[in-house]
Structure formats: C-alpha cells, structure tokens
Amino acid sequence: MAAHGLAGKRLMITGAARGLGRSIAEAAAAEGARLVISDILEAELEQTAEALRDAGAEVEALVIDQADAASIEAGLARVAEGGPLDGLVNNAAIATNVGGKPLEEYDPALWDRVMAVNVRGVWQMTRAALPLLARAERGKVVNVASDTALWGAPRLMAYVASKGAVIAMTRAMARELGERGICINAIAPGLTHCEATEYVPEERYAHYAAGRALKEEQHPEDIDGTVLYLLSDWSNFVTGQLIPINGGFVFN
C-alpha cells in the first residue's frame, strides 16, 4: 500500500473546517499526506489545522470564499508557493438550510447563492488549481456531489440541481483534463450526520437508514476510504466516474 498511497503527496481539501472535509483531511493526514485546507469559517478552520498539526501533520490553512473568484485566485497563488498539488478535493458547498420549500416558493437569491458556491465555485477552484495539478505525475480531483441528484430529493431544488451539475461537470472535465494526465471523479454521499446537516430532523435520518441496503446511519468517516482511493495511485486509470457512498440507499 505504501508505494501507491498518499505519503508525501500534497493535497488540497476545500470546506475542511468541519464535517466531511475535516474527516477527509484527518484520514489523509493519517496516511502521511501534506495538506492545504481551506474554508470560509476562519475560526473553525484554524482549530482544525491546529488539531491536525498536533497529530503530526504538515498543514497550511487558507481562508477562501468559494463564491469569490478573486478569493480563489489569491488563495491558489499562496498554494503555488509551496509547489505542485497531487490532488484537490472540491468539498466546499452550501448545504445548511437550503431546503424545505416547494419549487414555486424557492427564493431566487438563495438559488443564486447555492449555484455560485456549489457549481461555479467548483469550476473556478478546479480551474485555478490546474497549473499545479498538471505539474504532478498524475493529478487527481475529487468532486463531492450528493445522492440527492440521483433520486431527486423533493423540496431541495437548488441543492439537488447544484449537485447534479457537479456530476455533469465532472464528466465533461474528465474529457478535457485527461489529455493533461489529470483524473477527475465524483462521489455522491447520502445524508450524513455532521454539522452541515444538524438542522435535519431525526426522523429524516431514520428514513434514510431504513431505506438503505445497510440499515445504518451515515457518518463522515464512511466517505474517507473512497476519497483516499481516488486520490491515490491505485486509481490512476479511473476518471470521469461517479461513486455513490450511501449504504445502498440509491444505486448508480
């Protein structure tokens, strides 16, 4: 495993202050990766960075607003000072309090905000990272989508649409970036117990657990292994793919 793993690789993980992003960062650090973590939540980001450093990881933390192209460009300029990137995880997204209303009552301003972060932000972050990824032997990008886009979760229109766009972009990007030796794939987690979903009623978690092939609730660490595989050399001939990680709630 060591020859194909993450030891010494330099990875950037967005939205890493908490939840899925923090869990992925912790798992990658445990495998010996060097990390760049980013988020808009400055205090929580620094807490995460300190915890990772205390555990022995090499970590750089950057406050980046994924809805702001200038913030992305400035942040990636800082990242470039440290050399190439072996991998990028586009995890940052708006997922909290974005649903609950039927499509005819959805707030256009909220729609635009979700699209700016969850869709345009993924494109702009990937675009800014391309020169660094192209310098790696085999650059990897992992986009975090959602299984809501696979089954059409109701009363969650903007979020579902944004994650469907991430899946479509991943496939288009794979066609373009393959010529540069870059692999890009997407994962589609199910409803996961973390800070971003604290507003979800417990009965919704129970509904998901009952509908899964594995009758269990999902937690951030359930996602880590697949992401690490997609960032490692074990997946060097895998690109343009979507991997649902939801315990069998919906199949791809």
Tens of pLDDT, residues 115-159: 999 999 999 999 999 999 999 999 999 999 999 999 999 999 999
Return the residue matching tokens 């959805």: 106
**The predicted structure's pLDDT at residue 197:** 75
User: In whole angstroms, how far apart are CA 206 and each of 98, 147, 148, 221?
Assistant: 20, 16, 16, 19
**The predicted structure's pLDDT at residue 2:** 43
User: In whole angstroms, how far apart are CA 35 and each of 6, 60, 72, 87, 197?
Assistant: 11, 6, 17, 10, 25
3 pLDDT tier (thresholds 50, 70, 90) = low
Structure tokens at 14: 């967005």
What average pLDDT does range 227-236 have in this prediction? 98
Q: In 3D, which of 23, 34, 4 has the Cα closest to residue 194?
A: 23
**What whole-number distance in Å separates Cα of residue 233 and Cα of residue 242?**
18
Helix (H, G, I), strand (E, B) or coil at 40: coil
**What whole-number distance in Å separates Cα of residue 27 and Cα of residue 189?**
17
Indicate the domain borders of the chain. 2-245
1 pLDDT tier (thresholds 50, 70, 90) = very low
pLDDT tens-place string over residues 87-121: 999 999 998 888 888 899 889 999 999 999 999 99
Out of 3.40.50.2300, 1.10.287.3510, 3.40.50.720, 1.10.3720.10, the CATH code matching 2-245 is 3.40.50.720
Average pLDDT in the chain:
95
Q: Which residues are catalytic?
A: 159
Q: What is the pTM of this model?
A: 0.95
**The predicted structure's pLDDT at residue 201:** 79
Q: In 3D, which of 161, 138, 130 has the Cα closest to residue 148?
A: 161
Q: Which residues pair with 185 in a beta bridge?
A: 142
pLDDT tens-place string over residues 176-205: 999 999 999 999 999 998 877 777 778 888
What average pLDDT does range 34-60 have in this prediction? 98
What average pLDDT does range 230-248 have in this prediction? 98
25 pLDDT tier (thresholds 50, 70, 90) = very high
Structure tokens at 39: 């988020």
